Chain A
């Protein structure tokens, strides 16, 4: 079976964000980029699925500029068989990203596709579901447990205060949440093998963006807080402030 995993190249979550000169994006200087953390669960689940089937191929696809190849290479080092970069040096909105991915997934003829549940840059949490809809695939998002039996899928997705057990079937798109698995580390052998694995590069299918970023800004700074005290004797004053000043309790 052909399995696709879609990956994005994002700033490390420990990174401090500085605004870029264009006022619409971040300044990439000094920022460490990594494989989107949720995509690591997606990659792991794709590899595990191939291993349990005992056959097949896992392909990593990314939409974006040349530099996204770094993230594709990390996926290859983890064990993915080959990569595809759908190149676009310009930013796109989520739906335009989904259109490029859907186009490629259709051409590859894959029936099972994994995504991370969201990219930790724009945090939309939508591209997997959009891609599924464009392809007419079934989808389950924010998945913490996944079982494939023939063409049938039983997945558990996280919801407020619990989980939903969802039954569906191939063709399907699954978006991975932390807890789905423990992503493997790339071994030295894997890193060496990745150097020989192909990364195809082609222009991303044209698509119009409907959500246009007009400004990026910092959240309003919080006014300096009050240190009420340094031990339990400050508790009555804290409770008084919460009741009388903040009026929350």
Chain B
């Protein structure tokens, strides 16, 4: 018999991440299905409004606090392990973010718990939990059963819609914790400008070889700016050195699931399609009507990106202002 669901809330600069609210919502639902309780834990120094997680169905949050916990370090895994044991949690939920992906496997090894990473869906079947996750960058999906006593789920961002928060608030307990020596610590954050990351973005505008040269990528940037979208790139343009690898979408880049993915001058190599096919809406603009991208696009324009995109930017401006 399961006992408790614990949701890990990730904070950066004291702000709780959107992926954590999604995990909170799923955690509350999962607990309801299992007939058990769910609570959340956040590790950090100053954390802004952890009670807000109540709006996603979690009634209790514990804030493990110390000035040394402002940034990610090995202390996170130690504190999370002991807290999991302390409350006797048997389901542990993470957002599949850079931090979640680093932390969840460490908890898995420490607690001897099976972990299903980057999951897209789950189902409770009696005492069993079945999770669905992509493999081969989304070319296939697998259903897995986790059979260990403690089960870890890491949720792909943007897939489980947290929806609007209700006005409910969670009860917050702040626990000052002792942190001695940090063995692995973040000493500096280097931001890549104020750019949105493709793995977290709701909208992505991505460009490929069809843009012809590195300078023409400004077209992608302009449309992205208009939509408040993150910039993505195909492997071809990353390998050509036009764009950084952090923007690459596909099997050797990032797998993304935004609400809207606009592909400009991307033909749709199999490894690119694998990385973005789970986007909710896909728009493709490409001169080549036979490009594979059109097979998975919801809306396509088989035209020249250099003509269509400026018109698209103007039209969006028009409807935004109108």
Contact = CB atoms under 8 A, between A and B. Distances in A.
Contacts of A230: 289, 301-303
Contacts of A159: 98-99
A158 B102 CA distance: 11
B187 A231 contact: no
B148 A210 contact: yes
Contacts of A19: 140
A94 B281 CA distance: 33
A126 B109 CA distance: 10
Interface string B106-133: 1011101111111000000000001000
Nearest to B304: A231
A203 B38 CA distance: 42
B36 interface: no
Interface stretch (B1-9, B51-59, B158-166, B188-196): B188-196
B45 interface: no
Interface string A204-246: 0000011111111111001001111111101110110111001
A68 interface: no
Q: Summarize B's interface: helix, strand, loop or mixed.
A: mixed
B49 interface: no
Nearest to B258: A248
B190 A165 contact: yes
Given A14-B271, A123-B118, A219-B141, A246 B281 contact: yes
5 contacts: A132-B109, A166-B184, A178-B245, A225-B297, A227-B300
Interface string B276-300: 0110111110000100001111111
Among A120, A134, A140, A210: residue with most chain B CB under 10 A: A210
Given A133-B109, A235-B308, A235-B311, A120 B251 contact: yes
B195 to A, nearest CB: 6
Interface of B: 71-72, 74, 77, 97-99, 101-102, 104-106, 108-110, 112-118, 130, 134-148, 183-192, 195-197, 199-200, 203, 227, 244-246, 248, 250-253, 255, 259-260, 269-271, 277-278, 280-284, 289, 294-304, 307-308, 310-312, 315-316, 319
Given A123-B137, A168-B184, A231-B304, A179 B245 contact: yes
B143 A215 contact: yes
A242 B105 contact: no
B294 to A, nearest CB: 7
A98 B136 CA distance: 20
Contacts of B186: 164-166
A95 B116 CA distance: 11
A242 B141 contact: no
Contact of A210 (B139, B141, B147, B282): B147
A162 B183 contact: no
A95 B106 contact: no
A216 B135 contact: yes
A139 B184 contact: yes
A235 B317 CA distance: 12
Contacts of A235: 301, 308, 311-312, 315
Nearest to B202: A248
A123 B259 CA distance: 22
Contact of A231 (B143, B188, B269, B308): B308
Interface residues of A, number: 83
B155 to A, nearest CB: 14
Interface string A22-45: 001010000000000110000000
Interface string A111-149: 000000000111111111111111000111110000000
A236 B304 CA distance: 16
A128 B102 CA distance: 9
Given A159-B98, A216-B135, A227-B301, 16 more contacts: A125-B105, A162-B191, A166-B184, A166-B187, A168-B185, A211-B115, A214-B145, A217-B142, A219-B278, A225-B294, A225-B297, A228-B301, A229-B301, A229-B303, A231-B303, A248-B259
Contacts of B244: 179
Interface in A44-97: 93-95
B146 A210 contact: yes
A219 B137 CA distance: 11
Given A236-B315, A249-B227, A210 B301 contact: no
B180 to A, nearest CB: 15
Given A138-B74, A165-B186, A227-B302, A212 B144 contact: yes
B113 A13 contact: no
A95 B113 CA distance: 8
Contacts of B118: 123-125
A14 B141 CA distance: 17
Contact of A243 (B130, B304, B310, B319): B319
